Amino acid sequence: MTTEESSPQEEARTLESAWLFAGGPPPFDRLEAAEVVPAMERLLAEVGTAFDALEANLDSTWEGLIEPLERMGDQLGRAWGTLGHLLGVQDSDALREAFESMQPAVVVFSLRMGQSAPVYGALCALRDSEAFAEAPDTRKRILASMIRDAEHSGVGLEEEARTRFNEIQLALAELGTSFGNHVLDATKAYGLDLQDPADVEGLPEGLRALAADAAEGPEATAENGPWRFTLEAPSFIPFMEHCRSSGLRERLYRAYITRASSGELDNAGCIDEILALRREQAAILGYASYADLSLSTKMADDSGAVEELLEELRLASRKPAADDLEDLQKRATAAGDEEVALWDIAYWAQRVREERFAYSEEELRPYFPLPRVLEGLFALAERLFGIRVVQADGEVPVWHPDVRYFRVEETAGGEIAAFYLDPYSRPAEKRGGAWMDECTGRSALLGEAGRTRLPVAYLVCNQTPPGPGGKPSLMTFDEVRTLFHEFGHGLQHMLTRVDEGLASGIRNVEWDAVELPSQFMENWLYHRETLLGLARHFETDAPLPEALFEKILAARTYRAGSDMLRQVYFARIDLELHGRNEEGEGESPFEVQRRVAEGTTVLPPLAEDRFLCSFSHIFAGGYAAGYYSYKWAEVLSADAFGAFEEAGLDDAAALAKVGQRYRETILALGGSQHPLDVFRAFRGREPSSQPLLRHSGLA
Ligand code: ZN
C-alpha cells in the first residue's frame, strides 16, 4: 500500500497492526488516544470472530482449544493492558475518554469468554479425555484453574440457579461500589477546623500546609491558619502522631472509627446484604461458606490452616503488644499524662520512636541516590541469581523521557527478559503508589520464528524526582524498599522458565502467595553488606554511617508485636464474618468484631467503634476472606530468606548456591505448580512462621 492510497485512519491502522496484531514493543512514542477506539474495535471484532469459530467447531485437545484461547486472551490482554498501563502513567482526558468508551465492550467480551457454556463443556471433555491423563502436570494445573474459574463464574449452573447467581453478582458489584462511595463521601464530609495557633503547635510543617489548603477561604496559610484536618490518611496519621492535645486527638479518632456508620452514608446495611449475598453465592456454587469459596482458589488449604497460622501469630504477639502499651504508658506518665487511651497510642509511639532511634528521612536521603541504588540492586541480583541487568535505553520507544529500559541476561550470556522502569512521581499524569505489571509474558506458543517469547515487565514507582542542576533522585528508605519490592515481583515475571504462557511468571499463582518474591527482596535491605554496599553519599561518596544503619535495624522491630496483633485482629474478623453459614446469623457483625477483639487487642475498641463500616478491603475490594494473605505471604517470604541466613549471610559462595536454588524454584516455576510444592522444592520442608517472628523480634 502506498501512502497516497491510504486515508489517515487507515494509516493509523497500519501503525496499530504492526503492534497489536504482530507483537513487538508498544509504540509508546506514537500512540495517540484517537487511535485507541478504532484499534480496539477492530481487535475486538477479530478476536470475536475467532471465538465464534472456536465455539462453533469445538475441539477438545490442547492444540485445538487451549492454544487458541491463549492466543485470543493474549491479543486482547496485551492491547488492553498497554492502554491500561498508559492510563496509569500518562493519564489524559482524551485517553481516559477513549478507554472508558471501550471498557464496556471489553468487559462484555471477557465475560463471554469466561462464561461460554460450550467452551466450558469442551474444557471438561479435555480434562476427562484419555489422552490428557498423560499430559504434563503444568497443563493439568492450567486446565484445572480454567475449569474452576469458569465454574465460579456460574457457567456450570442450571438455568434457574444461574439467573439468581447473575443477579447476585450484579447486586454485589453495586453494593461494593456504594460501600466504597459511602466511605469516600463520609471521609470527605468530615473536617476538624482549628483557628488557634496553640492547637497546631508541634505539627509538622507539611501537615499544616495540607490543612491550610483544606481550610475554607482563600487567606488560610500554613503559619497562621485556619486549618482543616481531615480523615484522609496523609492528614489523619500525622495528626494522630503529632497533635499535642489529647482532646483534639480524641475528636479526630472518634470521627475516624465511626466513618460511614450513620445517616445516609451508613454502611451497616450494606455489610449485612453483602455478607448474605456472598453466603448465598457460595451455597449456589456448592460451598459451605464464602470463606470456603475464597480459599478454594488460594494456597491455604482451608480456614483451619489459616486459623492455625493466625493463632500462632496471635500467641507470639499478644504479650509483646501488651509490653508495647506498657512502654507507652510509662513514657506518658513521665510526661504527666494519665491513662493512655486509644487516641494517645500513635502520639506516644511516635515520641518514643523519635527518642530511641529516630533518623529523619532527610538525613538518609543523600545516601540513596537512584543510580547508586540501582547499581546495588542489580549487583545483588547478579550475586544471588547469576543474572546481569544491562542498560538498554533507546532500544524501544518509551512514554516519558525519564523512563529507563533494561535487558536481563544470564551472566554466562543469553537474553532472558527486559523491563521498563518509570521511577519518578508525576502527580499530574501518573497514578500514586508503585506496581509491577506485565508488558508481555513468557510463552513458547506466542514467540516468533520458532523462538519462545520473552517476558517484559513494567516497574513503576513514585519516588522523589531528580533535583535541579543534575542532582540525582535522592530516595527515602521507604522508596528504596518499594523499589526492591517491585523488582522482586519483576524477577518472578522475568526469570520464569515455564514455557506455557498461561502459567509462566506471575500467572496462575495463588493470590496469597504472589507477595512472596516481592517481600523477599525487602529483607536484603537489612543485610549489612547489601545496604552498606548501595548506600553512598551522592556528593562525598562516604558510606552510610554505622550508627544510622543500627537505627534502621532497631526501627524494624519497633512495635512489631502491636502491628502483628492488629493484622491478626483484622484477618480474624474477615475470616469469621465470611466463614459463617445461616446458623451464625444470631450475632451481628459488630458483635463478632467485639468478640474477636477480646483476644486480639490490648486496649479494647470503644463500644461505638464501627470500623467495619470503612473496612473497604473486604467489602469493596478483593480481600474478602483473604485479608490473611498479607501475613501468609510474609511467613513465606521471611522463611525463604531464612534459608539464606542459615547458609550464612557473609558467605558469598553459599549465598549464590541458595540463590540458584531460589531462582530455579520460586522464581522459575511460576504458576506451573501448587505454591506449597514450589516452596517445598526450595526449602525442603513446609513453611514455618518462626523466621517471620524472629525478624519481627517476637521469637
Ligand atoms: Zn507487591
pLDDT tens, position by position, 560-597? 999 999 999 999 999 999 998 765 567 899 999 999 99
Q: pLDDT for 610-637, tens place per residue?
A: 999 999 999 998 899 999 999 999 999 9
What is the 632 CA–ligand 1 centroid distance (Å)? 13
What is the 416 CA–ligand 1 centroid distance (Å)? 22
In a domain, 99, yes or no: yes
If asked whether residues 473 and 609 sit together in one domain, one would say yes
pLDDT (0 to 100) of residue 1: 34
Cell numbers linked to 67: 492454544
pLDDT (0 to 100) of residue 5: 46
pLDDT (0 to 100) of residue 357: 83
What is the 514 CA–ligand 1 centroid distance (Å)? 7
Handedness of CA 633, 635, 639, 645 (dihedral sign): positive
Mean pLDDT of 673-677: 97
Pairing of strands 387-391, 227-229: unpaired
What is the 482 CA–ligand 1 centroid distance (Å)? 9
Q: Phi first, then psi: give them for residue 543, nearest 5 degrees.
A: -70, 165
Q: Are 419 and 479 in contact (CB under 8 A)?
A: no
Query: How many CB atoms sit inside 10 A of residue 388's CB?
Result: 18
If asked whether residues 212 and 309 sit together in one domain, one would say no
What is the 515 CA–ligand 1 centroid distance (Å)? 5
Question: Range with the lowest mean pLDDT among 10-24, 99-113, 267-281, 357-371?
Answer: 10-24
C-alpha distances in Å from residue 213, one per residue of 87, 96, 201, 252: 27, 28, 18, 18
If asked whether residues 211 and 103 sit together in one domain, one would say no
Tell me the CATH number at 543: 1.10.1370.40
Q: Exactly one of 35, 438, 486, 515 is catalytic; which is it?
A: 486
If asked whether residues 245 and 300 sit together in one domain, one would say no
What is the 517 CA–ligand 1 centroid distance (Å)? 9
What is the 83 CA–ligand 1 centroid distance (Å)? 21
Cell numbers linked to 58: 469445538
Q: Are 466 and 473 in contact (CB under 8 A)?
A: yes
If asked whether residues 84 and 200 sit together in one domain, one would say no
Q: How far apart are CA 92 and CA 98, in angstroms?
A: 10
What is the 502 CA–ligand 1 centroid distance (Å)? 20
CA proximity to 485, closest of 530, 519, 457: 519
Q: Are 655 and 384 in contact (CB under 8 A)?
A: yes
How far is C-alpha 298 from the chain's CA centre?
A: 16
Q: Among 132, 156, 180, where does a domain finish?
A: 156
Q: How far apart are CA 382 and CA 268, in angstroms?
A: 52
pLDDT band for position 240 (cuts 50, 70, 90): very high
If asked whether residues 458 and 345 sit together in one domain, one would say yes
If asked whether residues 433 and 551 sit together in one domain, one would say yes
What is the 624 CA–ligand 1 centroid distance (Å)? 18
What is the 375 CA–ligand 1 centroid distance (Å)? 22
pLDDT (0 to 100) of residue 464: 87
In a domain, 276, yes or no: no
In a domain, 44, yes or no: yes
If asked whether residues 434 and 510 sit together in one domain, one would say yes
For residue 113, the number of C-alpha atoms closer than 13 Å in the C-beta half-sphere is 23
In a domain, 252, yes or no: yes
CA proximity to 369, closest of 494, 496, 539, 489: 539
Which residues have CB atoms below 5 A from the ion given as ligand 1?
518
Cell numbers linked to 603: 486496649
Handedness of CA 341, 346, 349, 351 (dihedral sign): negative
Q: Is 479 tagged catalytic? A: no
What is the 518 CA–ligand 1 centroid distance (Å)? 6
What is the 489 CA–ligand 1 centroid distance (Å)? 7
What is the 630 CA–ligand 1 centroid distance (Å)? 10
In a domain, 518, yes or no: yes
If asked whether residues 143 and 253 sit together in one domain, one would say no
Mean pLDDT of 532-552: 94
Q: pLDDT for 39-50, tens place per residue?
A: 889 899 999 999
Q: Are 517 and 633 in contact (CB under 8 A)?
A: no
What is the 166 CA–ligand 1 centroid distance (Å)? 31
What is the 521 CA–ligand 1 centroid distance (Å)? 11
pLDDT for 545 beyond 80: yes
If asked whether residues 319 and 385 sit together in one domain, one would say yes
Q: How large is the angle between the packed helices 652-662 and 370-385, nearest 10 degrees?
A: 80
pLDDT (0 to 100) of residue 19: 59
In whole numbers, what is the pLDDT of the chain averaged over residues?
93
Mean pLDDT of 423-446: 93
Q: pLDDT for 396-410, tens place per residue?
A: 999 999 999 999 999
Whether the bond into 226 is cis, omega within 30 of 0: yes
Range of the domain at 468: 293-699
If asked whether residues 460 and 571 sit together in one domain, one would say yes
User: Greater confidence, 255 or 11?
Assistant: 255
In a domain, 270, yes or no: no
pLDDT band for position 146 (cuts 50, 70, 90): very high
Number of domains in the chain: 3
pLDDT for 359 beyond 60: yes
Q: Among 156, 174, 209, where does a domain finish?
A: 156
If asked whether residues 389 and 491 sit together in one domain, one would say yes
What is the 213 CA–ligand 1 centroid distance (Å)? 32
In a domain, 164, yes or no: no
CA proximity to 692, closest of 646, 632, 602: 632
Q: Among 156, 182, 217, where does a domain finish?
A: 156
In a domain, 229, yes or no: yes
